[in-house]
Each structure stands twice: as C-alpha cells, then as structure tokens.
Homo-oligomer: A and B are copies of this chain.
C-alpha cells in the first residue's frame, strides 16, 4: 500500500501554503494561517521551510507552471492553424476553470518582483509561442489568412482566455450575474472565443 503523497507533513504544508498564498498574496498571508490550515504550529513550519520568503518562492514557482501549464506541445505541434487555435483555447480554459485564481496571483506577484526573479521560474517551462507565431506569419504570407501581427494575435488569444478569470468580480458586478450565470458564460466562451478569432483572421 503506497502512502498518499499529501499525508506527509511537507505535503500538508505545501498544500496549505498554496491555498493561503493564493487567497491573500505574499504580503497578506500569515505564517500562522498557513500553520493552522496545515494543522500544525508555526515552529514546525519553520522547521520545514526556513522562512516565509523561501516557502513563498517554492509555491510561486509551482504555481507559475500551473498558470502556464504544459501546453507548449500545442504551440509547437504541426496542427493546422484553424485547428490549433481552438485546441489551445479549449485546453487552456479547461485548466483555468480548474485553477481560476492562479492567473491573478501569479501576475500580481510578478508585477512587484524584479524580472530577474522569475527567470528561474521559467526554467524549462517558458511558453514557446515562437513556432505558432511563425506559422501565423507563414499563413499570412501565403494569403491563407488576412495580414496580422503574429504577436498581437497571440496576445489577443491569451487575453480573451485569461481575462474573465482575473476580472470575474468586475464582470459579475457590471453584468449583474450570479455564480451560475458566470459559469455558463465561461462555458460559452470555450466555443465562442475560437470562433471569434477564426472569424477575424480567415479570408
């Protein structure tokens, strides 16, 4: 019988820290809250992770890869563009539905840290949109799609996938929605965003 991973104290701490850091951010999170969430005391927390900064870095690097999950294989696949775009949007939005609070957390913390810091967070995990961008440029040159800046198209796609999760409270307030209605909106987007993009670039 294999011991479940999150039965160990270290896993309990990591899960608790993840939850508390996402909820309150680095500055707002308390070591006491993390200890409580993990069902241990502060001293033990410091026994496993020397200080708050190191615990945070550990979590931040993990969550950065959740923010940008292993979808490079789509960017870099040989799929035709009109298939690649819906595939990416669907898979990425699925991931975001599972982890809706990660983008805001990651982008917020990135904004108050020097660029140097998140070089290491990208170690081997950086998104590689270059092949997709080359593909877009090739299709445009070949007259298969209308001329468009590849980087702008990629940013448009990612903006429309991510933003609703970041702007959820604003959207719900402005559009006078409840949780259920918001969930429906997001489900709709999985179909609508790819259509929106393809309608824009097709000739």
Contacts and interface: CB of A to CB of B under 8 A. Distances in A.
Contact of A152 (B153, B172, B192): B192
Interface stretch (A8-16, A91-99, A110-118): A110-118
Interface string A1-36: 000000000000000000000011111100000000
Contacts of A61: none
Nearest to A172: B115
Instruction: State the copy count for this chain.
Output: 2
Contacts of A106: 170
A55 to B, nearest CB: 17
A200 B194 CA distance: 11
B174 A127 contact: yes
The 10 A-B pairs at the shortest CB distance, nearest first, are namely A159-B163, A27-B28, A200-B200, A27-B27, A110-B169, A199-B200, A159-B159, A152-B192, A159-B160, A163-B163
Interface of A: 23-28, 101, 104, 106-108, 110-112, 115, 118-119, 122, 126-127, 129, 146, 148-149, 151-153, 155-156, 158-160, 162-164, 166-175, 185, 188-189, 192-193, 196-197, 199-201
